[in-house]
Amino acid sequence: MQPVFRFAPSPNGYLHLGHAYSALLNNSLAMAFNGIWLLRIEDIDTTRCRPAFEQALYEDLAWLGLTWPAPVLRQSRELGVYRAALARLDAMGLLYPCAASRQDIAAALARREAGGAASWPRDPDGAPRHPGLVDKLSHTEAEAFTSRGEPVAWRLDMGKALATIAANDSPLVWTRFTAEGELSTVVAQAARWGDVVLARKDIGTSYHLSVVVDDARQGVTHVVRGKDLEAATDVHCLLQRLLGLPTPAYLHHDLIQDSGGEKLAKSRGSTALRELRAGGLTAADIWERLGFAPCPD
Ligand code: GLU
- C-alpha closest to that of 179 among 79, 256, 291, 19: 291
pLDDT of residue 63: 98
**CATH 3.90.800 domain locations along the chain:** 78-217
On the question of a cis peptide bond just before residue 121, with omega within 30 degrees of 0, the verdict is no
CATH number of 1-77+257-297: 3.40.50.620
Could you report the per-residue pLDDT of 91-122, keeping only the tens digit for each?
999 999 999 988 888 898 888 888 666 788 99
Report the Cα 159 to chain-centroid distance in Å: 22
**Ligand 1 pocket mutation, candidates 43, 211, 218, 230, criterion most atoms within 8 A of CB:** 211
Tell me the per-residue pLDDT of 115-160, one tens digit each, with 9 for 90 and over. 666 788 999 999 999 888 888 999 999 999 999 999 999 999 999 9
The Cα 109–Cα 72 span in angstroms is 41
Give the model confidence (pLDDT) of 11-61 as tens digits: 999 999 999 999 999 999 999 999 999 999 999 999 999 999 999 999 999
Query: Greater confidence, 194 or 266?
Result: 194
Query: What's the gap in Å between 3 CA and the centre of ligand 1?
Result: 19
Dist. CA 160 → ligand 1 center (Å): 27
Instruction: Provide the pLDDT confidence category of residue 70 given band limits of 50, 70 and 90.
Output: very high
Provide the pLDDT confidence category of residue 296 given band limits of 50, 70 and 90: low
Q: To the nearest whole number, what is the mean pLDDT of the chain? A: 93
pLDDT in tens, 148-178: 999 999 999 999 999 999 877 789 999 999 9
Among the listed residues 250, 229, 230, 232, the one whose alpha carbon sits nearest the alpha carbon of residue 184: 250
Query: What pLDDT is stored for residue 14 in this prediction?
Result: 95
**Comma-separated ranges of CATH 3.40.50.620 domains in the chain:** 1-77+257-297
Better-scored residue on pLDDT, 262 or 181: 181
Inter-helix orientation angle 79-91/233-243, to 10° = 70
Q: Which one, of 98, 52, 47, lies nearest residue 274 by Cα?
A: 52
What φ, ψ does residue 192 adopt, rounded to 5°? Answer: -65, -15
pLDDT tens for 255-281 read 987 666 666 655 555 689 999 999 999
CA of 207 to the centre of ligand 1 (A): 8
pLDDT of residue 111: 86
Q: Would you say the pTM of this structure is higher than 0.85?
A: yes
> What pLDDT was estimated at residue 292?
94
Determine the pLDDT at residue 161: 97
Dist. CA 163 → ligand 1 center (Å): 29
Whether 197 contacts 154, CB under 8 Å: yes
Pairwise CA distance, residues 95 & 28, whole Å: 39
Q: What is the pLDDT of residue 262?
A: 63
Looking at residue 82, its pLDDT comes to 98
Rounded distance between C-alpha atoms, residue 8 and residue 22, angstroms:
9
CATH class for the region spanning 78-217: alpha beta
What residues flank ligand 1, with Cβ below 6 Å?
Answer: 8-10, 42, 211, 225, 229
pLDDT at 227 over 90: yes
Contacts 24+ apart (CB under 8 A), 232-235: 232/124, 232/207, 232/208, 233/174, 233/186, 233/188, 234/124, 234/188, 234/189, 234/190, 234/192, 234/193, 235/190, 235/193, 235/196, 235/208
